[in-house]
Amino acid sequence: LGVSEVDMVMNINAFKSRDFDYVKRDIVAVVEAARKHGVRVVKVIIETGLLSDEEKVKATELVIEAGADYVKTCTGFLGSVATVHDVSILYKTSRGRVGVKASGGIRHALDALALIAAGASRIGTSSGDKIIEEFLKLRGEY
């Protein structure tokens, strides 16, 4: 019993201030605390909607260096959504060293499938039932 996965949000202020050592130490601290308590998966949300493409690459590299398991697009609270472009950047940067979780604004099966094709290994959505229903319709099973 207990928690098996933890999500954290990267410190955007420190990242935008280019204090990458602080950002990495913060992620490492969460990863170490999580592992100490038996948590198997740590996901780091980088808020892709606030980052340039170059910053998305740097953030993904920090997530990898810090030992987390997934880089995650966004919380969905800041109005940004997961995009194929962003997922593709995270996937190409990670080269399989961490998983990519697309989250934020995913409400349709075709959107989810496009994100998976771009490299997402997980989808975070509050529209799971609707997406499955649409997927089954696409397959002619509904």
86 is catalytic: no
7 is catalytic: yes
72 is catalytic: yes
62 burial type by CB count under 10 A (0-12 exposed, 13-18 middle, 19+ buried): buried
The torsion region of residue 94 among left (phi > 0), alpha (psi -120 to 50) and beta comes to: alpha
> For tokens 């997922």, what's the residue?
87
The closest of 92, 89, 101 to 45, measured between CA atoms, is: 101
Select which of 101, 111, 129, 137 is catalytic.
Answer: 101
- Paired residues of 72 in beta bridges: 45, 101
Select which of 72, 92, 111, 129 is catalytic.
Answer: 72
The closest of 89, 139, 88, 84 to 106, measured between CA atoms, is: 84
> Do 8 and 45 form a contact (C-beta atoms < 8 A)?
yes
Catalytic center residues? 7, 72, 101
